Amino acid sequence: MRRLLAVLLAPFALAALTSVILLYPWGEPDPTGHAVGEPVNGEVVSSELGPCLSPGQVQVGDTGDADAENGPRCQTVRVTLTDGPAEGMAITKNLPAGQGNPTFAAGDDVVLAYSGADPRDADAYQVQDFQRGLPLTLLAVVFAAAVVILGRWRGAAALGALVVTGLIIGLFVLPAILHGANPLAVGISGSGLIMFVALYTTHGFSARTSAAVLGTMVSLSLIGVLATIFSAGAQLTGLDENTSTLIGSLGQEIDTRGLLLAGIVIGALGVLDDVTVTQASAVWELHRANPRLSWRELYGAALRIGRAHVGSAVNTLVMAYAGAALPALLLASLSDVGLGSILTSQEMAAEIVRTLAGSIGIIAAVPVTSVLAALIVVREENHVDTHLDHGIEPGAESSAPRRRPHEHQ
> 231 Cβ partners below 8 Å, 6+ apart?
238, 257, 260, 261, 350, 353
Confidence of residue 348 (pLDDT cuts 50, 70, 90): confident
* Lowest-pLDDT range of 72-86, 169-183, 303-317, 392-406: 392-406
Mean pLDDT over residues 169-185, rounded?
Answer: 91
Residue (of 217, 157, 188, 160) closest to 10 by Cα position = 217
The pLDDT, as a whole number, for residue 382 is 62
CA distance 199 to 205: 9
Whether the predicted pLDDT of 29 surpasses 60: yes
Within 290-345, where are the H helices? Answer: 295-324, 326-334, 339-343
Mean pLDDT, residues 223-250: 85
Residue 328 sits at φ, ψ, to 5 deg, of -65, -40
**Cα separation of 243 and 329, whole Å?**
18
Q: Are 76 and 94 in contact (CB under 8 A)?
A: yes
**H/E run at residue 242:** helix 241-250
Give the helix/strand (H/E) hosting 128. strand 125-130
Contact assessment for residue 318 and residue 359, using Cβ atoms and an 8 Å cutoff? yes
Chain length of the chain: 409
User: Which tens digits make up the pLDDT trace of 184-236?
Assistant: 999 999 999 999 999 999 888 889 999 999 999 999 999 999 999 999 998 98
Instruction: Give the domains, in start order, of the chain with CATH numbers.
Output: 2-28+139-389 (no CATH), 38-114 (2.40.50)
Alpha-carbon Rg for the chain, nearest whole angstrom, is: 28
- How many other CB atoms are there within 10 angstroms of residue 111's CB atom? 16
What is the percent of the chain where pLDDT is above 90? Answer: 41
